[in-house]
Structure formats: C-alpha cells, structure tokens
Structure 1
Amino acid sequence: MTVAVDQTLFHQTGAGLSVPFSIAGTGMHLPPAVVTNQELTRTLDTSDEWITSRTGIRERRRLAPHLATSDMCVAAAHPALEAAGIEPARLDAVIVATYTGDQPLVSTALIVKDALGAHRALSLDVTQAACASGIQAVLIAAHLLQNPSITTVLVLAADCASRITDPADRTTAVFFGDAAAAVVLTRTDTPGSGLLSYDLGSQLSYGVQIPAGGSRLPASAATVAAGDHYLSMDGRAVWNAATTRLPESITGAARRADVPIDEIRYFFLHQANLNILTATLAALGVPRERVPVTVDRLGNTGSAGLFTALHSAVSAGSLLPGDTYVLSGIGAGFQWGTLCLRHA
C-alpha cells in the first residue's frame, strides 16, 4: 500500500551556517563475512546475471550472529577518531543513524558512547528516516556545532539489514549488506567551510516498511509467523521516488548554495542500487568519476552507504580543501535530503 500526501519541504538558504566546521576524520567497518551473488543463488530463485543487471551488486557483507549494530559503530569510530587525533573523552556528542538499533530500548547511541568512553558526550539516535537518517544526523551535528560549548561531534551511520530481511525474499535479500561508517566533525577557523545549504523533503508512503513491532502492531506469535517483522519493499515505488527526488533535492541544495552543479567536486549519494545512481547522474549531467560508488561490493548498507563513499574519498586524499561536495540520500517514509558543504 502506498499513500501519497502533500510533499513537505524544508530548506536553508544564504551563505550557510555562521560557525564553520570540517571533517577531521572518517572511518569504516565492514564485517569480514562476504556473501556473493553465487552464494545467494543456492537458496533463492535468482541468478548472478539477474542480480547484477538489476542492482549492480556483486557481493555484500554479513555481520556475525553474536554481534550487533553498536559493535560495528564502535569499530568504525576508532579509526575515525584516530584520523582526527581526538580522544573519545573530548567528544561533545555521539549521533548514531540507524534503523537497525541493538534493541528498542536502550539507546544504541548510548551503548556506543559508553563503549568508546565518551562519557561527557550527548548521545542521540536518528532512526526513522532509515537510509536518509545519516543526512539528518549530519544536519543535527552541523547545528550543534553552532553552540559555543560544542566543538566536536562524532556521527555514525550503520545498518545491519541482514537481521530484518527475509532470507527467502528475493525482492529484499539480494540488495542489502551490513556496514558502519563514521565521520568526526569539528569547528574550524577556515571561513566559508561547513554547511552551505540543505534541502529536505518527505511524502508519506508505506512502500518500504517493517509493519510489526510498534504500538500499532505489537510483536506476537502471529506477527512473527506472518513475517511482519521483516522489511517489505515495493521496488517500483522506490525507483520512482529515488530517481525523482534525489536529482530534485541535489539541484535545489546547489541552487540555494549558489554553486553550479558542474562546480561540485563530489556527490556522495545513498548507495541503494547502481541503476538508481546511474539514473541520478544522467538527470544531473554529472560524470561518473565525481560519484564514488561502493554499492557494487557492499550492497545497500542503509544509512552507512553514502558515508562509505565519503570515507573512500577522504581516506584517499581526494577531497581537497575548498572542494564543494554534497551528501544526498532517500529513505523509507519516504524521506529524502541533500546537504551542500565545503571542505576545509
């Protein structure tokens, strides 16, 4: 079932936020277990050619059964903090973007904060925008950094979709992988860096949902038997929303930042599906080399996806001071958004 209502839009214009900030370090964690397309064909009515042609995905990672999302977050946080030269005790906030938290209560961000020893940090969870939660998390971090008492924020984006997808459902089982990525944001003295503009939108749809486990349909033996705790996805609805909203949102954010599309150095996009990325690039007229891709070897890693792409550029030294870049994603709901930033 898909329900369409009036679209809700939020955007910020002008010269950006008054307090500049920068990426001080990034990190990533990939579970060691690799699941190839060929392995999936042993249990699903599919083929390597079918998966590759429709998704561009060749393999994905699976988290070990005894581990949880918070474990991936902690593993991604350590190299990010090391790259930034920042001890956990100096963190002012830890924000975790995930729709696959360790448990409904307690807070996954609090679990991560405690494991890191970031005892003075504010802990925040951003969950309900699913694959777009990382966009909202960075937006929150950008505004927190405007407060003079906050100088350093750790943003983590992680999802363990293998725990909420039906292994017998070809529609979802071939797409998703498990991963976590981290970015440390700090105040900087470089004027004009940080957030230049943003564009957020939403339109209610049940095209992607997990029906059971909330107050409307609490967990019961019947909901478990019906598979209502698994992710359900209307692929056509996702395609239509993503290929429409991502180019619109990116164009809107660039316009509000007064930055032409062809002057944006990198586009770090939600790694949902290679065909969606290709369609978005074509709509924007952007060459492939300006859009780092990880979906082919990691699958759709939810909120972590665009941050795995960001990490690949930062760790390679490709994102240079003064470069303008965008983070853009869309998630269940549907909710979508783009941030236009300048690197310090």
Structure 2
Amino acid sequence: MITCGAVTAGPGILGTGSYLPSRVIDNKDISELIGVSEEAIWRKTAIRERRWAKPEEATSDLAVAAARAALEQAGVSASQLGVVIVATSTPDSPQPATASVVADELGAGHGTAAFDVNAVCSGFTFALPVAERLLAGDEHSYALVIGADVYSRILALDDRRTALLFGDGAGAVVLGPGGRRRLLSARLAGFGAARDLIRVPAGGSRLPATEETLSAGLHHFRMDGRGVSDFIDSVVVPGIREFLADNGVRPDELAHFVPHQANGRILDEISKSLGIASDRLATTVTRYGNTGAASVPITLDHLSRSGAVAEGDLLLLAAFGGGMSMGLTLISC
C-alpha cells in the first residue's frame, strides 16, 4: 500500500473528456443473448443499457476520442503533452503499448513518454497520481491520463454473471499547471492473494493462446461475483473509511463520491455503508454499465460537465478491480 499527499504547487486537472460508442445494447438485447429476463437484469444491476464498440473500433480509438474532448476543454494541444498514460486491461494488442498508439494518433510531440497501466478497473485511479508525480517540478508540461476498455471483446456470453454487466468506453483528464482541481491525497493498494477473483486465464506467457485454450474459452473474462462482493465489504469499504479518516475528512464533507461503476446495486450499498447521501453519489452505470478502467473518468467527466461541481468541493474517486486492487483519490476543487 502506498499513500501520497499533494505536490506543493503541483499540477491540477484542467479538463475532462469521455467517449461512448454509438452502439447501444439494452437489457432486451442482453436478455436475448444470455437468457436472463430484462426485469432480473435491472433488479440485480440497476443497469438499463450499455455501449459496445463497433467491430472496427479498438481501445485506442475510444481513448483518442475521449482524449480530444479533454484536451479541447483544457485548451491544451497534444504537442504540449509530456506524458500519456492509458489505463486498460483490454489493450489493442500485447505490444506496443496502447498509449503509444494514442499519443501518435493525437499528434503528441516527438519524445512524449507513453505507457500503459493495468490495475484492471482501478487502473485510472492508479495512473492519475503517477502522472501528477511525473509532472512535479515541471511548470511547462502536461499529462494526459486515460481510462479505456473494450470488455465486449472478452466477455463470455454464456456467463450470465458477467455478460450483463459490462460496456465499452473511455474517459480522460488533462493535468497541468494552473489546474484548479488539485489532488490532495491518493492511496494505491494491492491484494495479490485474491487475484483469482477476477481473471482472463489465457493469452499471456503462462497460457499462450492455442486452439485448446480458445475452445475452452480461457481467453474470456471470468469473475467470482460472491468473492468480489466479500472483498468490497471486507477491504474496500473499510479502506475508504480509513483513507478519509487519515485525511481528516468525514463522509458527510464530501460533495461528490465518484466510485467505480461496478454494479448499481453495489454502489448503493457502498454509499449507505459509508454514510454518504445518495444525492452525492455520482453514477453513470444505469446508462453505460461497468466500463472497467473507464468508469471513473467517464463519470467524473459527466459530473464536471453537468455544472454540479462548485469551487471548494471535495471529491472522492474510489475504484477496485482485478489484482485485486484498490485506488482512492481525494480532490479539492
């Protein structure tokens, strides 16, 4: 576990952006695919629809679109970027890094550092404080941090526990000098003993893709739903309480709580457990489902563009995902 405080006179968030594919998959569509009723899907997840990428769209395409929106809002050109980080567990390919593709497509300058971060659904909350630290002491450079995933490509449609949850999307932020929204504190934590709760078994160096692994469906996403729920109760909720207490912040002092959009019913339970009022819970899960590492920045972008964030507001970003991993970030506006 690592905790870092604000960099003195460090960078802040200058702009946010997001992109969702145009292809809408509603609960009727999912019901027909997996054989679960629309009513049951809604009751279990609070999801009504999600977006899936078109066949020609890859993770980098979604990331580039979200990045352009964030750069435009920030008033920053791609040539000013010193670093591009893409948080994803569904890269375009094993190599090169998806961030390299994104940086090139955006027209980032020669020599711009570009790399991926894989902490599964916590990826964006891991990448954000890393980017802030990289900019520390540099008053002329900017960072682009993107969360992007295309989970529709790795879902097993015969797995009713996961196929109804996931959508595709990307969200981005631009960090740089003069940003009013400052990172006050961040905490990154890993729990490797629980790594088998969320997994894609094959396709790597331990189980390379073969006819046998493909026929067995080992390249598909798998999740132990009950185990993940227990992890949230025993690790995530207490971890958020401890993080807030360590920063001298009461839950009722948060203006906005922006969690990973894992499942709408789970988000309600987390908020209630923490004592955070429902009107301070920011959600996009009903419209977009669980978009992996993209869910926190997509929700942050929607919240920011809604006009609901005021000067002086405290925001908590909180994500959990495979690894297992947990990333928490406190932001002052």
| Structure-2 residue corresponding to 1:3 | none
**Contact map agreement 2:261 2:283 (CA 8 A) in 1:** yes
CA displacement at 1:32 relative to structure 2: 0.5
**Contact map agreement 2:14 2:178 (CA 8 A) in 1:** no
In structure 1, how many angstroms separate the alpha carbons of the residues matched to 2:198 and 2:139? Answer: 39
| Structure-2 residue corresponding to 1:115 | 105
| Structure-2 residue corresponding to 1:246 | 236
Q: Is 1:165 aligned to residue 155 of structure 2? A: yes
Q: Is 1:222 aligned to residue 212 of structure 2? A: yes
| Equivalent residue runs for 1:40-79 within 5 Å | 40-79=30-69
**Contact map agreement 2:10 2:137 (CA 8 A) in 1:** no
Local SS of the residue matching 1:170:
coil
CA displacement at 1:150 relative to structure 2: 5.6
In structure 1, how many angstroms separate the alpha carbons of the residues matched to 2:22 and 2:219? Answer: 26
**Contact map agreement 1:201 1:335 (CA 8 A) in 2:** yes
| Structure-1 residue corresponding to 2:188 | 200
Match of 2:117 among 126, 140, 144: 126
What does the per-residue CA deviation read over 1:107-154, in whole Å, with 9 as the maximum and x for residues that have no partner? 100000000001242102101x10001111101111112132663111
| Structure-1 residue corresponding to 2:2 | 10
In structure 2, how many angstroms separate the alpha carbons of the residues matched to 1:245 and 1:303? Answer: 19
**Match of 2:225, as an amino acid?**
G
In structure 1, how many angstroms separate the alpha carbons of the residues matched to 2:176 and 2:154? Answer: 34
Deviating more after overlay: 180-189 vs 69-78: 180-189
**Contact map agreement 2:25 2:49 (CA 8 A) in 1:** yes
CA displacement at 1:41 relative to structure 2: 1.7
TM-score under structure 2 length normalisation: 0.95
CA displacement at 1:169 relative to structure 2: 1.7
CA displacement at 1:258 relative to structure 2: 1.9
TM-score under structure 1 length normalisation: 0.92
Deviating more after overlay: 284-293 vs 314-323: 314-323
CA displacement at 1:238 relative to structure 2: 1.1
**Match of 2:233, as an amino acid?**
T
When the two chains are superposed, the root-mean-square deviation of aligned CA atoms in Å is 1.5
In structure 2, how many angstroms separate the alpha carbons of the residues matched to 1:189 and 1:80? Answer: 13
In structure 2, how many angstroms separate the alpha carbons of the residues matched to 1:23 and 1:263? Answer: 21
**Contact map agreement 2:26 2:50 (CA 8 A) in 1:** yes
Local SS of the residue matching 1:194:
strand
| Structure-2 residue corresponding to 1:342 | 332
Mark the CA change 1:222 to 1:189 in structure 2 (over 3 Å): closer, same or farther: closer
In structure 2, how many angstroms separate the alpha carbons of the residues matched to 1:228 and 1:189? Answer: 44
In structure 1, how many angstroms separate the alpha carbons of the residues matched to 2:257 and 2:156? Answer: 32
**Contact map agreement 1:327 1:340 (CA 8 A) in 2:** yes
What does the per-residue CA deviation read over 1:24-60, in whole Å, with 9 as the maximum and x for residues that have no partner? 1111111001011111222222011111111111110
In structure 1, how many angstroms separate the alpha carbons of the residues matched to 2:231 and 2:298? Answer: 22
| Structure-2 residue corresponding to 1:6 | none
Local SS of the residue matching 2:67:
helix
**Match of 1:200, as an amino acid?**
L
| Equivalent residue runs for 1:135-174 within 5 Å | 135-148=125-138, 151-174=141-164
Match of 1:271 among 250, 254, 261: 261
**Contact map agreement 1:249 1:337 (CA 8 A) in 2:** no
| Structure-2 residue corresponding to 1:4 | none
| Structure-1 residue corresponding to 2:96 | 106
In structure 2, how many angstroms separate the alpha carbons of the residues matched to 1:261 and 1:255? Answer: 9
In structure 2, how many angstroms separate the alpha carbons of the residues matched to 1:322 and 1:187? Answer: 18
In structure 1, how many angstroms separate the alpha carbons of the residues matched to 2:86 and 2:41? Answer: 30
Q: Is 1:35 aligned to residue 25 of structure 2? A: yes
**Match of 1:56, as an amino acid?**
A
**Contact map agreement 1:199 1:252 (CA 8 A) in 2:** no
CA displacement at 1:259 relative to structure 2: 2.1
How many residue pairs get matched?
330
**Contact map agreement 1:194 1:342 (CA 8 A) in 2:** yes
Local SS of the residue matching 1:322:
coil
Match of 1:237 among 227, 237, 240: 227
Runs of 4+ in structure 1 off by over 3 angstroms are none
In structure 2, how many angstroms separate the alpha carbons of the residues matched to 1:189 and 1:48? Answer: 43
**Contact map agreement 2:139 2:177 (CA 8 A) in 1:** no
CA displacement at 1:189 relative to structure 2: 7.6
In structure 1, how many angstroms separate the alpha carbons of the residues matched to 2:191 and 2:113? Answer: 30
CA displacement at 1:17 relative to structure 2: 2.2
In structure 1, how many angstroms separate the alpha carbons of the residues matched to 2:77 and 2:191? Answer: 40
CA displacement at 1:288 relative to structure 2: 1.0
**Match of 1:53, as an amino acid?**
R
